[in-house]
Amino acid sequence: MTDTTWTIDGVTADTLVGTTPNIQPGEEISPTFVFLPSNQSTPFGARANSVRDIGASAPQDATVSVSPVTDKPSFVESVRPGAPRSEVVVEFTTSVPDTPDFWAYVTGYEEETEIPGIRREITLNATVIDIVGTGTETKSELESQYSKKL
Q: Please state the domain extents for the chain.
A: 6-121
Radius of gyration of the chain (CA): 15
- pLDDT-derived band of residue 127, with 50, 70 and 90 as boundaries? very high
pLDDT at 150: 44
> Over the stretch 63-115, which tens digit does the pLDDT of each residue have?
888 888 777 788 888 888 888 888 889 999 998 889 999 999 999 999 987 77
Three-state SS at 47: helix
91, amino acid identity = E
Q: What percent of the chain clears pLDDT 70, i.e. is strictly above it? A: 97
| Cα separation, 37 vs 45, whole angstroms | 8
Residue 61 reports pLDDT greater than 70: yes
Q: What pTM was computed for the model?
A: 0.87
Per-residue exposure over 51-88, b if at least 16 CB sit within 10 Å of its own CB, e if not: bbbbbbbbbeebebebeeeeeebbbebbbeeebebeeb
